[in-house]
Structure 1
């Protein structure tokens, strides 16, 4: 399912226009992104939690040459599925 499929499904389920569904989805993604940028967690009870974690710098290898390279530290987004979501999938 891609973004336009999700918008279509949201509009059909909620009985709203596709424009309203797109606006709602865009608002959700924007608010989750902005909250994570601040270093805070986003939790939707029963569905899951997004958080930001720091990945340390490390040494890697170029697979073509075998030369060592330095991989910089960076922030990564993690998602931990809630019990309700995990149960629905399994």
Structure 2
């Protein structure tokens, strides 16, 4: 499912126009992005939570040459599904 499919689905299920659904989705995404950028945890009950975690530096391996390559530390976004979503995924 891509963004336009998601907008269409939101518009249909909420019985609103596609323009209103797009505005709502864009607002949600910009709010989530801003909060995650600030390092805040975002929890959507029943769906899951987004958080920023720090990855430690580590050693990787170039598969072509077999050479060991250092991988620098970095921050990544982590998603953890909520119980309700995880239950639906595991039962299907």
Which segments of 5 or more consecutive residues in structure 1 lack a partner in the other structure?
Answer: none
Partner of 2:41: 41
Which stretches of structure 1, 4 residues or longer, exceed 3 Å deviation after superposition?
A: none
1:23-38 to structure 2, matched below 5 A, reads: 23-38=23-38
Which segments of 5 or more consecutive residues in structure 2 lack a partner in the other structure?
Answer: none
Partner of 1:15: 15
Report the CA distance between 1:8 and its aligned residue: 0.4
* Partners of 1:19 and 1:72 in 2: CA distance: 42
Q: TM-score, normalised by structure 1?
A: 0.92
When the two structures are aligned, how many residues end up with a matched partner?
90
- Secondary structure in 2 aligned to 1:63? coil
* Partners of 2:84 and 2:47 in 1: CA distance: 6
- Secondary structure in 2 aligned to 1:16? coil
Report the CA distance between 1:87 and its aligned residue: 2.3
